[in-house]
Amino acid sequence: MEFAIVLGGGQVGQVISKGIDNIVEQAQLAESLGFTAVFVPDHYVFEEMGDFKKGQPAYEIFFLMTMLAQTTGLTIGSHVACTIFRHPAMLARLFAHVDEVAGGRVIAGVGAGWTKAEFDMLGIDFPHVSERLRMMDEAVTVMRGLWREEPFSFEGEYYKLTDAQIRPLPTRVGGPPIMLGGSGKGILRRAGQWADIVHLVPETGGPGTTTMEKVAEFTDAAVADKLSLVRESALAAGRPADAVSYATTIFSYNPATTPAQAQETAEGMGALFGVATDDIIKYPCALVGTPDQMEEELRRRQEAHGLSLVAVGAAGPDGIRNFADNLISRFA
């Protein structure tokens, strides 16, 4: 199992006060402690449950990815790049440039966009999720077409290119692996058809924000059903059932010193989210327990679902050290 740190969003109190130098320092710390990747979110303004996080910096994703590629040896991933924010030729070009700087260490995470408040703030159209997904389909087709040697022509519903090319090409032939983020049925079918990695998180594309209802629905059992749909879609597309690897993000990391403390924390979280305590312990985007309990749970997810990449929301240097000390050494 591989572990990534998410930087540039989430719990970033130190980043607010110290800026980008702090992000680099945290990435370097994570690398020294055994993390193998760093993920960067793509937002103009961060929001939670529909409310903006005012005053929190939101760095340009490709600037930050390039900075981290130059200052660490980590795999650099987008978490995830919104295909509506940029023309797909620009996306293809930016990913290729960062991949060159990183020496082939890029994961091209993409998504169809989900923060409606952010789109409204910028005056960008926010189509129905079905249309955003069709736009993403074409964007990925264009990106992969431009990552090959020969000129690329394409005429779709949203984009048209004639004998187009970009240089330099990505370091790896065919371009970096594509990670598709989300968990709605449209995302899951597409993941099976053409993604390399599916990054499952609670569904946000339809609502246009994070909602407690969707958070509560994102259970361990739901993940099993979602991954089954990915495998079925892969087989229907003529790919192996295991063609797509499974990744997720731990947004809520709750270490405990005793099982009793872990149980109390799980009960409190269950009451907050309106789900059973046992479901909280198995909740795909959370970890609750003593180090032994958390290791056991991660290994269960690995065995039951094929979980291969775990990203962790950053909580400053202390949080990074705590997670590494409690868990990463156990999976070395």
- Distance, CA of 111 to chain centre: 9
| Per-residue pLDDT at 15 | 41
Residue 253 has pLDDT above 50, yes or no: yes
CA 7, CA 27: separation in Å to the nearest integer? 8
CA 145, CA 8: separation in Å to the nearest integer? 30
| Per-residue pLDDT at 49 | 67
Compute the average pLDDT of residues 95-108: 98
- pLDDT band at residue 17, thresholds of 50, 70 and 90? very low
- pLDDT band at residue 175, thresholds of 50, 70 and 90? very high
Compute the average pLDDT of residues 16-45: 90
Report whether 174 contacts 147 (CB < 8 A): yes
| Per-residue pLDDT at 160 | 98
| Per-residue pLDDT at 13 | 37
- pLDDT band at residue 62, thresholds of 50, 70 and 90? very high
Whole-model pTM?
A: 0.94
Compute the average pLDDT of residues 19-27: 92
Q: Residues with Cβ < 8 Å from 238, sequence gap 6 or more?
A: none
CATH architecture of structural domain 2-249+303-331:
Alpha-Beta Barrel (3.20)
| Per-residue pLDDT at 94 | 98
Domain segments of the chain: what residues? 2-249+303-331
How confident is the model over 128-143, as pLDDT tens digits?
999 999 999 999 999 9
Residue 168 has pLDDT above 70, yes or no: yes
Written as one string, the DSSP assignment of 54-69 is TT-----HHHHHHHHH
User: Over the range 61-91, which residues count as b (16 or more CB within 10 Å of their CB) and which as e?
Assistant: bbebbbbbbeebebbbbbbbbbbbbbebbeb
Select the more confidently predicted residue: 304 or 210. 304
| Per-residue pLDDT at 330 | 94
Dig out the tokens for 208 from the structure.
């246009």
| Per-residue pLDDT at 215 | 85
Length of the chain: 332
| Per-residue pLDDT at 206 | 78
Question: Percentage of residues in the chain with pLDDT exceeding 90?
Answer: 82
